[in-house]
Amino acid sequence: MLVELLDRTTATEYASWFRALADPSRVQLVELLARRGEPMTVGQIVAAMGLAQSTVSQHLKILAEVRFVLVEAAGTARLYRINTNCVSCFPSAADVVMGKPAPAPTGACS
């Protein structure tokens, strides 16, 4: 029985998503931004999470690289918000492992 694997490009994209969420603080950060539903400054995120500013900034950088988080300038501040298009494309590990169809990381997700 021949099993069709994910193409290498898709597998690489999914792996980057899993790596980005491999830290519990980043999972919490994604949840915070998703539940908040509006852009937040680093200061607001630091206050909500109780982490150092440098730690939050590093987590935001990693999440922005895979486009789970979007950054926008607001004067001298930077606002961070969840990228609902990208996060909605995130396949669950169970779906991938069980061979269920997973959304392709294209369009708004890439």
How many domains, the chain?
1
Neighbour tally for 19: CB within 10 Å = 13
CA 32 to chain centre: 12
Residue 10 has a pLDDT of: 80
Distance CA 25, CA 17 (A): 15
Task: List the one residue out of 65, 107, 60, 64 whose CA is nearest residue 88.
Answer: 107
Domain CATH for 82: 1.10.10.10
Distance CA 39, CA 91 (A): 24
Task: Report the pLDDT averaged over residues 57-64.
Answer: 97
Task: Report the pLDDT averaged over residues 34-60.
Answer: 96
Q: Which residues contact 56 (CB under 8 A, 6 or more apart)?
A: 29, 42, 45, 46, 49
Confidence of residue 97 (pLDDT cuts 50, 70, 90): low
Residue with the bigger pLDDT between 29 and 90: it is 29
The values of phi and psi at residue 92, to 5°, are -75, 150
Percent of all residues in the chain with a pLDDT value above 90, rounded to a whole number: 56
For residue 108, tell me if it sits in a domain. no
For residue 109, tell me if it sits in a domain. no
Domain range enclosing 18 = 13-103
For residue 78, tell me if it sits in a domain. yes
Report which DSSP code applies to 90: P
Q: What pTM, to 2 d.p., does this model score?
A: 0.81
For residue 5, tell me if it sits in a domain. no
